[in-house]
Structure 1
Protein backbone atom coordinates (compact mmCIF):
# COMPACT_ATOMS: atom_id res chain seq x y z
CA UNK A 1 0.00 0.00 0.00
CA UNK A 2 1.20 3.52 -0.77
CA UNK A 3 2.44 5.55 2.16
CA UNK A 4 3.74 9.04 2.76
CA UNK A 5 6.34 10.18 5.27
CA UNK A 6 5.19 13.13 7.33
CA UNK A 7 8.07 15.58 7.76
CA UNK A 8 7.02 16.95 11.16
CA UNK A 9 7.97 13.75 12.93
CA UNK A 10 4.59 12.03 12.83
CA UNK A 11 4.55 8.37 12.01
CA UNK A 12 4.28 7.27 8.43
CA UNK A 13 0.65 7.22 7.38
CA UNK A 14 -1.08 5.09 4.80
CA UNK A 15 -2.77 6.58 1.77
CA UNK A 16 -6.16 5.76 3.31
CA UNK A 17 -5.27 7.54 6.56
CA UNK A 18 -4.10 10.62 4.67
CA UNK A 19 -7.35 10.64 2.68
CA UNK A 20 -9.41 10.25 5.86
CA UNK A 21 -7.61 13.15 7.55
CA UNK A 22 -8.20 15.32 4.48
CA UNK A 23 -11.90 14.39 4.52
CA UNK A 24 -12.22 15.33 8.20
CA UNK A 25 -10.43 18.64 7.66
CA UNK A 26 -12.64 19.60 4.71
CA UNK A 27 -15.75 18.64 6.63
CA UNK A 28 -14.55 20.70 9.61
CA UNK A 29 -14.06 23.71 7.33
CA UNK A 30 -17.62 23.47 6.04
CA UNK A 31 -19.15 22.92 9.48
CA UNK A 32 -17.24 25.86 11.02
CA UNK A 33 -18.17 28.09 8.07
CA UNK A 34 -21.85 27.20 8.53
CA UNK A 35 -22.21 27.00 12.33
CA UNK A 36 -19.31 29.00 13.72
CA UNK A 37 -16.47 27.79 15.93
CA UNK A 38 -18.40 27.12 19.15
CA UNK A 39 -21.06 24.92 17.54
CA UNK A 40 -18.58 23.03 15.38
CA UNK A 41 -18.04 20.23 17.87
CA UNK A 42 -16.14 17.07 17.01
CA UNK A 43 -19.43 15.20 17.30
CA UNK A 44 -21.08 17.49 14.74
CA UNK A 45 -18.11 17.26 12.38
CA UNK A 46 -18.15 13.46 12.68
CA UNK A 47 -21.89 13.41 11.99
CA UNK A 48 -21.48 15.50 8.83
CA UNK A 49 -18.56 13.32 7.70
CA UNK A 50 -20.54 10.12 8.26
CA UNK A 51 -18.04 8.72 10.74
CA UNK A 52 -17.84 8.22 14.49
CA UNK A 53 -16.29 10.79 16.80
CA UNK A 54 -13.72 8.15 17.69
CA UNK A 55 -12.39 8.22 14.12
CA UNK A 56 -11.62 11.93 14.51
CA UNK A 57 -9.96 11.26 17.86
CA UNK A 58 -7.84 8.60 16.20
CA UNK A 59 -6.47 11.09 13.66
CA UNK A 60 -6.36 14.25 15.79
CA UNK A 61 -5.47 14.74 19.46
CA UNK A 62 -8.42 17.11 19.91
CA UNK A 63 -10.28 20.07 18.50
CA UNK A 64 -7.26 22.36 18.86
CA UNK A 65 -5.06 20.13 16.70
CA UNK A 66 -7.83 19.79 14.12
CA UNK A 67 -8.16 23.59 13.98
CA UNK A 68 -4.41 23.94 13.45
CA UNK A 69 -4.66 21.51 10.56
CA UNK A 70 -7.57 23.48 9.11
CA UNK A 71 -5.38 26.60 9.12
CA UNK A 72 -2.45 24.74 7.54
CA UNK A 73 -4.72 23.30 4.85
CA UNK A 74 -6.13 26.71 3.93
CA UNK A 75 -2.62 28.18 3.72
CA UNK A 76 -1.44 25.31 1.50
CA UNK A 77 -4.45 25.62 -0.81
CA UNK A 78 -3.91 29.36 -1.10
CA UNK A 79 -0.28 28.77 -2.04
CA UNK A 80 -1.30 26.28 -4.72
CA UNK A 81 -3.50 28.93 -6.32
CA UNK A 82 -1.17 31.90 -5.90
CA UNK A 83 2.39 30.70 -6.45
CA UNK A 84 2.07 29.59 -10.11
CA UNK A 85 0.51 32.96 -10.97
CA UNK A 86 3.19 34.91 -9.14
CA UNK A 87 6.19 33.06 -10.56
CA UNK A 88 4.82 33.24 -14.09
CA UNK A 89 5.53 36.99 -14.05
CA UNK A 90 8.81 38.45 -15.30
CA UNK A 91 8.87 41.69 -13.33
CA UNK A 92 8.54 42.38 -9.62
CA UNK A 93 5.68 44.80 -10.32
CA UNK A 94 3.92 42.00 -12.20
CA UNK A 95 4.54 39.61 -9.33
CA UNK A 96 3.04 42.08 -6.87
CA UNK A 97 -0.07 42.48 -9.00
CA UNK A 98 -0.34 38.69 -9.36
CA UNK A 99 0.09 38.31 -5.58
CA UNK A 100 -2.86 40.60 -4.88
CA UNK A 101 -5.14 39.38 -7.67
CA UNK A 102 -4.53 35.67 -7.07
CA UNK A 103 -5.03 36.13 -3.33
CA UNK A 104 -8.46 37.63 -3.88
CA UNK A 105 -9.19 34.97 -6.49
CA UNK A 106 -8.59 32.40 -3.76
CA UNK A 107 -10.87 34.27 -1.35
CA UNK A 108 -13.58 34.30 -3.99
CA UNK A 109 -13.34 30.60 -4.85
CA UNK A 110 -12.80 29.33 -1.27
CA UNK A 111 -15.25 31.39 0.75
CA UNK A 112 -15.98 28.62 3.27
CA UNK A 113 -12.26 28.24 3.93
CA UNK A 114 -11.86 31.93 4.66
CA UNK A 115 -15.03 32.06 6.77
CA UNK A 116 -13.74 29.12 8.80
CA UNK A 117 -10.46 30.92 9.49
CA UNK A 118 -12.37 33.98 10.67
CA UNK A 119 -14.51 31.93 13.04
CA UNK A 120 -11.50 30.07 14.39
CA UNK A 121 -9.63 33.31 14.96
CA UNK A 122 -12.59 34.90 16.75
CA UNK A 123 -13.91 31.88 18.65
CA UNK A 124 -11.04 29.67 19.78
CA UNK A 125 -10.06 30.83 23.28
CA UNK A 126 -7.95 29.44 26.12
CA UNK A 127 -9.10 29.49 29.75
CA UNK A 128 -7.40 32.88 30.23
CA UNK A 129 -9.40 34.35 27.36
CA UNK A 130 -6.48 34.62 24.97
CA UNK A 131 -6.74 33.20 21.42
CA UNK A 132 -6.09 29.46 21.37
CA UNK A 133 -4.96 29.62 17.74
CA UNK A 134 -2.16 32.07 16.97
CA UNK A 135 -2.85 33.32 13.44
CA UNK A 136 0.25 35.51 13.59
CA UNK A 137 2.09 32.28 12.79
CA UNK A 138 0.60 32.55 9.30
CA UNK A 139 0.35 36.36 9.07
CA UNK A 140 3.99 37.09 9.94
CA UNK A 141 5.56 34.70 7.38
CA UNK A 142 3.24 36.10 4.69
CA UNK A 143 4.32 39.63 5.56
CA UNK A 144 8.00 38.67 5.51
CA UNK A 145 7.69 37.06 2.07
CA UNK A 146 5.89 40.13 0.74
CA UNK A 147 8.51 42.34 2.35
CA UNK A 148 11.25 40.43 0.52
CA UNK A 149 9.37 40.84 -2.77
CA UNK A 150 9.06 44.59 -2.26
CA UNK A 151 12.71 44.93 -1.32
CA UNK A 152 13.66 43.01 -4.46
CA UNK A 153 11.65 45.51 -6.50
CA UNK A 154 13.58 48.36 -4.93
CA UNK A 155 16.94 46.68 -5.56
CA UNK A 156 16.05 46.13 -9.22
CA UNK A 157 14.99 49.73 -9.62
CA UNK A 158 11.30 49.05 -10.24
CA UNK A 159 10.03 50.49 -6.96
CA UNK A 160 10.62 53.80 -5.21
CA UNK A 161 12.18 54.07 -1.77
CA UNK A 162 9.79 53.19 1.07
CA UNK A 163 9.71 50.95 4.12
CA UNK A 164 9.21 47.39 2.78
CA UNK A 165 7.87 46.35 6.18
CA UNK A 166 5.26 49.09 6.39
CA UNK A 167 4.17 48.55 2.79
CA UNK A 168 4.00 44.76 3.25
CA UNK A 169 1.85 45.05 6.39
CA UNK A 170 -0.41 47.57 4.61
CA UNK A 171 -0.90 45.33 1.56
CA UNK A 172 -1.49 42.23 3.69
CA UNK A 173 -3.97 44.06 5.92
CA UNK A 174 -5.85 45.43 2.90
CA UNK A 175 -6.23 41.90 1.53
CA UNK A 176 -7.26 40.40 4.87
CA UNK A 177 -9.92 43.09 5.33
CA UNK A 178 -11.66 41.72 2.24
CA UNK A 179 -12.59 38.63 4.27
CA UNK A 180 -14.54 40.80 6.71
CA UNK A 181 -16.18 42.64 3.82
CA UNK A 182 -17.28 39.36 2.26
CA UNK A 183 -19.01 38.35 5.49
CA UNK A 184 -21.14 41.51 5.31
CA UNK A 185 -21.41 41.90 1.54
CA UNK A 186 -21.28 38.40 -0.01
CA UNK A 187 -22.31 39.84 -3.37
CA UNK A 188 -19.03 41.78 -3.69
CA UNK A 189 -17.34 41.55 -7.08
CA UNK A 190 -13.84 40.52 -6.07
CA UNK A 191 -12.46 40.86 -9.58
CA UNK A 192 -13.16 44.58 -9.47
CA UNK A 193 -11.86 44.79 -5.90
CA UNK A 194 -8.67 42.92 -6.86
CA UNK A 195 -8.01 45.19 -9.82
CA UNK A 196 -8.49 48.31 -7.70
CA UNK A 197 -6.19 47.04 -4.95
CA UNK A 198 -3.52 45.97 -7.45
CA UNK A 199 -3.68 49.36 -9.17
CA UNK A 200 -3.57 51.20 -5.84
CA UNK A 201 -0.40 49.46 -4.72
CA UNK A 202 1.16 49.72 -8.16
CA UNK A 203 0.82 53.49 -7.85
CA UNK A 204 2.04 53.39 -4.24
CA UNK A 205 5.22 51.46 -5.02
CA UNK A 206 6.35 52.56 -8.47
CA UNK A 207 8.94 55.27 -9.09
Structure 2
Protein backbone atom coordinates (compact mmCIF):
# COMPACT_ATOMS: atom_id res chain seq x y z
CA UNK A 1 0.00 0.00 0.00
CA UNK A 2 2.82 2.39 0.84
CA UNK A 3 4.43 1.76 -2.56
CA UNK A 4 1.13 2.49 -4.30
CA UNK A 5 0.70 5.68 -2.28
CA UNK A 6 4.18 6.85 -3.23
CA UNK A 7 3.52 6.07 -6.89
CA UNK A 8 0.23 7.98 -6.78
CA UNK A 9 1.92 10.99 -5.19
CA UNK A 10 4.65 10.94 -7.85
CA UNK A 11 2.02 10.88 -10.59
CA UNK A 12 0.19 13.76 -8.96
CA UNK A 13 3.44 15.73 -8.68
CA UNK A 14 4.20 15.11 -12.32
CA UNK A 15 0.72 16.24 -13.34
CA UNK A 16 1.00 19.36 -11.20
CA UNK A 17 4.48 20.16 -12.46
CA UNK A 18 3.42 19.75 -16.08
CA UNK A 19 0.42 21.99 -15.49
CA UNK A 20 2.64 24.62 -13.88
CA UNK A 21 5.12 24.47 -16.76
CA UNK A 22 2.27 24.91 -19.24
CA UNK A 23 0.96 27.87 -17.22
CA UNK A 24 4.38 29.52 -17.29
CA UNK A 25 4.83 28.90 -21.01
CA UNK A 26 1.41 30.39 -21.81
CA UNK A 27 2.21 33.45 -19.70
CA UNK A 28 5.59 33.80 -21.40
CA UNK A 29 3.95 33.73 -24.83
CA UNK A 30 1.67 36.60 -23.83
CA UNK A 31 4.52 38.62 -22.33
CA UNK A 32 6.78 38.18 -25.36
CA UNK A 33 3.88 39.10 -27.66
CA UNK A 34 3.09 42.25 -25.68
CA UNK A 35 6.54 43.48 -24.65
CA UNK A 36 8.84 41.87 -27.21
CA UNK A 37 11.50 39.24 -26.61
CA UNK A 38 14.27 41.67 -25.51
CA UNK A 39 11.99 43.16 -22.83
CA UNK A 40 10.71 39.85 -21.52
CA UNK A 41 11.73 39.07 -17.94
CA UNK A 42 10.91 36.44 -15.35
CA UNK A 43 9.30 39.19 -13.25
CA UNK A 44 6.83 40.07 -16.02
CA UNK A 45 6.11 36.41 -16.71
CA UNK A 46 5.53 35.67 -13.02
CA UNK A 47 3.11 38.58 -12.80
CA UNK A 48 1.27 37.46 -15.94
CA UNK A 49 1.04 33.89 -14.61
CA UNK A 50 -0.09 35.03 -11.16
CA UNK A 51 2.93 33.51 -9.44
CA UNK A 52 4.14 34.78 -6.09
CA UNK A 53 7.80 34.88 -7.18
CA UNK A 54 10.14 34.22 -10.08
CA UNK A 55 11.50 31.26 -8.14
CA UNK A 56 8.67 29.12 -9.49
CA UNK A 57 9.91 29.80 -13.01
CA UNK A 58 13.51 29.03 -12.11
CA UNK A 59 12.36 25.76 -10.53
CA UNK A 60 10.87 24.58 -13.82
CA UNK A 61 13.23 26.19 -16.34
CA UNK A 62 16.99 26.49 -16.43
CA UNK A 63 17.16 30.15 -17.41
CA UNK A 64 15.48 32.33 -20.01
CA UNK A 65 16.82 30.41 -23.02
CA UNK A 66 15.37 27.16 -21.68
CA UNK A 67 11.98 28.82 -21.21
CA UNK A 68 12.03 30.43 -24.67
CA UNK A 69 12.91 27.07 -26.17
CA UNK A 70 9.78 25.65 -24.52
CA UNK A 71 7.77 28.64 -25.75
CA UNK A 72 8.94 28.08 -29.31
CA UNK A 73 8.14 24.37 -29.12
CA UNK A 74 4.62 25.11 -27.86
CA UNK A 75 3.96 27.67 -30.59
CA UNK A 76 5.16 25.25 -33.25
CA UNK A 77 3.06 22.42 -31.77
CA UNK A 78 -0.13 24.47 -31.74
CA UNK A 79 0.47 25.79 -35.25
CA UNK A 80 1.27 22.36 -36.66
CA UNK A 81 -1.80 20.71 -35.14
CA UNK A 82 -4.12 23.53 -36.24
CA UNK A 83 -2.87 23.71 -39.82
CA UNK A 84 -2.66 19.92 -40.21
CA UNK A 85 -6.28 19.53 -39.09
CA UNK A 86 -7.38 22.11 -41.64
CA UNK A 87 -5.43 20.51 -44.48
CA UNK A 88 -6.55 16.99 -43.62
CA UNK A 89 -10.12 18.08 -44.26
CA UNK A 90 -9.27 18.74 -47.94
CA UNK A 91 -9.16 16.14 -50.70
CA UNK A 92 -6.42 16.48 -53.28
CA UNK A 93 -3.11 18.27 -53.16
CA UNK A 94 -4.27 21.30 -55.13
CA UNK A 95 -7.09 21.85 -52.65
CA UNK A 96 -4.68 21.40 -49.74
CA UNK A 97 -2.34 23.99 -51.24
CA UNK A 98 -5.19 26.50 -51.37
CA UNK A 99 -6.19 25.62 -47.82
CA UNK A 100 -2.60 26.10 -46.63
CA UNK A 101 -2.84 29.88 -46.86
CA UNK A 102 -6.32 30.07 -45.33
CA UNK A 103 -5.23 27.83 -42.45
CA UNK A 104 -2.06 29.77 -41.69
CA UNK A 105 -3.78 33.14 -41.69
CA UNK A 106 -6.72 31.77 -39.71
CA UNK A 107 -4.12 30.57 -37.22
CA UNK A 108 -3.00 34.16 -36.81
CA UNK A 109 -6.56 35.22 -36.01
CA UNK A 110 -7.08 32.36 -33.56
CA UNK A 111 -3.71 32.59 -31.80
CA UNK A 112 -2.51 36.19 -32.27
CA UNK A 113 -0.18 36.09 -29.27
CA UNK A 114 1.58 33.00 -30.59
CA UNK A 115 2.53 34.53 -33.92
CA UNK A 116 3.56 37.87 -32.43
CA UNK A 117 5.73 36.12 -29.88
CA UNK A 118 7.37 33.89 -32.46
CA UNK A 119 8.10 36.84 -34.76
CA UNK A 120 9.75 38.73 -31.91
CA UNK A 121 11.82 35.71 -30.89
CA UNK A 122 13.04 35.12 -34.46
CA UNK A 123 13.83 38.81 -34.98
CA UNK A 124 15.77 39.18 -31.75
CA UNK A 125 17.45 35.82 -31.11
CA UNK A 126 21.16 36.34 -30.61
CA UNK A 127 24.35 34.50 -31.41
CA UNK A 128 24.11 32.62 -28.11
CA UNK A 129 21.44 30.43 -29.67
CA UNK A 130 22.20 30.04 -33.40
CA UNK A 131 19.51 27.40 -33.81
CA UNK A 132 16.79 29.87 -32.85
CA UNK A 133 15.64 27.74 -29.94
CA UNK A 134 15.08 24.68 -32.11
CA UNK A 135 12.91 26.51 -34.63
CA UNK A 136 15.28 26.13 -37.59
CA UNK A 137 15.23 22.35 -37.30
CA UNK A 138 11.43 22.38 -37.29
CA UNK A 139 11.31 24.68 -40.32
CA UNK A 140 13.65 22.34 -42.17
CA UNK A 141 11.34 19.42 -41.37
CA UNK A 142 8.30 21.38 -42.62
CA UNK A 143 10.12 22.36 -45.81
CA UNK A 144 11.08 18.74 -46.50
CA UNK A 145 7.46 17.67 -45.98
CA UNK A 146 6.20 20.38 -48.34
CA UNK A 147 8.75 19.43 -50.97
CA UNK A 148 7.62 15.82 -50.87
CA UNK A 149 3.99 16.88 -51.00
CA UNK A 150 4.60 18.99 -54.14
CA UNK A 151 6.60 16.22 -55.78
CA UNK A 152 3.77 13.80 -55.13
CA UNK A 153 1.42 16.27 -56.81
CA UNK A 154 3.70 16.44 -59.83
CA UNK A 155 3.88 12.66 -59.97
CA UNK A 156 0.09 12.31 -60.01
CA UNK A 157 -0.33 15.10 -62.55
CA UNK A 158 -2.06 17.54 -60.20
CA UNK A 159 0.85 19.99 -60.44
CA UNK A 160 2.91 21.06 -63.44
CA UNK A 161 6.65 20.56 -63.70
CA UNK A 162 8.53 23.18 -61.67
CA UNK A 163 11.57 23.41 -59.39
CA UNK A 164 10.19 22.17 -56.09
CA UNK A 165 12.64 23.77 -53.62
CA UNK A 166 12.13 27.15 -55.30
CA UNK A 167 8.35 26.79 -55.11
CA UNK A 168 8.55 25.91 -51.41
CA UNK A 169 10.62 29.04 -50.81
CA UNK A 170 8.03 31.12 -52.64
CA UNK A 171 5.10 29.58 -50.75
CA UNK A 172 6.71 29.97 -47.34
CA UNK A 173 7.99 33.45 -48.18
CA UNK A 174 4.51 34.60 -49.16
CA UNK A 175 3.05 33.09 -46.00
CA UNK A 176 5.66 34.71 -43.76
CA UNK A 177 5.25 38.10 -45.45
CA UNK A 178 1.47 37.94 -45.04
CA UNK A 179 1.80 37.10 -41.35
CA UNK A 180 4.29 39.92 -40.82
CA UNK A 181 1.91 42.36 -42.52
CA UNK A 182 -1.03 41.15 -40.45
CA UNK A 183 0.94 41.54 -37.22
CA UNK A 184 1.92 45.11 -38.15
CA UNK A 185 -1.50 46.18 -39.47
CA UNK A 186 -4.57 45.41 -37.31
CA UNK A 187 -6.84 46.32 -40.25
CA UNK A 188 -5.21 43.84 -42.61
CA UNK A 189 -7.78 41.54 -44.22
CA UNK A 190 -6.26 38.13 -43.63
CA UNK A 191 -9.08 36.22 -45.31
CA UNK A 192 -8.82 38.28 -48.50
CA UNK A 193 -5.05 37.88 -48.49
CA UNK A 194 -5.38 34.12 -48.07
CA UNK A 195 -7.73 33.93 -51.07
CA UNK A 196 -5.39 36.02 -53.23
CA UNK A 197 -2.36 33.93 -52.32
CA UNK A 198 -4.31 30.73 -52.92
CA UNK A 199 -5.30 31.96 -56.40
CA UNK A 200 -1.73 33.01 -57.15
CA UNK A 201 -0.15 29.70 -56.23
CA UNK A 202 -2.97 27.73 -57.82
CA UNK A 203 -2.03 29.39 -61.11
CA UNK A 204 1.68 28.95 -60.43
CA UNK A 205 1.43 25.21 -59.77
CA UNK A 206 -1.55 24.05 -61.79
CA UNK A 207 -1.20 21.50 -64.56
CA UNK A 208 -2.10 23.45 -67.70
CA UNK A 209 -2.10 20.52 -70.14
CA UNK A 210 -4.90 18.08 -70.68
CA UNK A 211 -3.09 15.47 -68.59
CA UNK A 212 -5.46 13.68 -66.26
CA UNK A 213 -4.33 12.97 -62.68
CA UNK A 214 -2.76 9.54 -62.45
CA UNK A 215 -4.21 6.92 -60.15
SS of the residue aligned with 2:38? coil
Match of 2:108 in 1: 107
Which residue of the partner structure matches residue 25 of structure 1? 25
1:64-85 deviations in Å (ceiling 9; x for gaps):
0111111111111112211122
How far 1:183 moved relative to its partner? Answer: 3.0
Which residue number in structure 1 is paired with residue 99 of structure 2? 98
TM superposition shift of 1:132? 5.4
Alpha carbons of structure 1 residues 44 and 144: separation in structure 2 relative to 1, 3 Å: same
Q: Is the 8 A contact 1:25 1:66 kept in 2?
A: yes
**The 10-residue stretch of structure 1 (135-144 or 47-56) with the greater mean CA deviation from structure 2:** 135-144
In the aligned structure 2, how far is the partner of 1:58 from the partner of 1:134? Answer: 22
The CA distance in 2 between the partners of 1:156 and 1:28, in whole Å, is: 45
Q: How do residues 131-170 of structure 1 correspond to structure 2 at under 5 angstroms?
A: 133=133, 135-170=135-170
Aligned counterpart, 2:62: 61
Deviations along 1:12-62, one digit per CA (max 9) or x if unpaired, are 971211111111111001111111112111121112212121111111111
Shift of 1:133: 3.6
Q: Give how far 1:137 is off.
A: 2.1
Contact 1:121/1:131, CA 8 A, preserved across alignment? no
Q: Distance between the aligned counterparts of 1:13 and 1:107, measured in 2?
A: 34
Query: Which stretch shifts more, 23-32 or 91-100?
Result: 91-100
**Corresponding residue for residue 80 of structure 1:** 81
- TM-score, normalised by the number of residues in structure 2: 0.85
TM value normalised by structure 1: 0.88
Q: Where does structure 1 lack aligned partners over 5 or more consecutive residues?
A: 5-11
Shift of 1:97: 1.4
- Which of structure 1's runs of 4+ aligned residues deviate more than 6 A? none
Total equivalences in the alignment: 199
**Which structure is larger by alpha-carbon Rg, 1 or 2?**
2
Deviation at 1:203, TM superposition (A): 0.6
Partner of 2:210: none
CA distance in 2, matches of 1:193, 1:131: 30
Aligned-pair CA distance for 1:160: 0.3
Counterpart residue number, 2:172: 172
RMSD: 2.2
Tell me: CA distance 1:139–1:2, structure 2 relative to 1, closer, same or farther (3 Å): farther
Judged with a 3 Å threshold, the aligned counterparts in structure 2 of structure 1 residues 136 and 130 are, in CA distance, closer, same or farther, namely closer
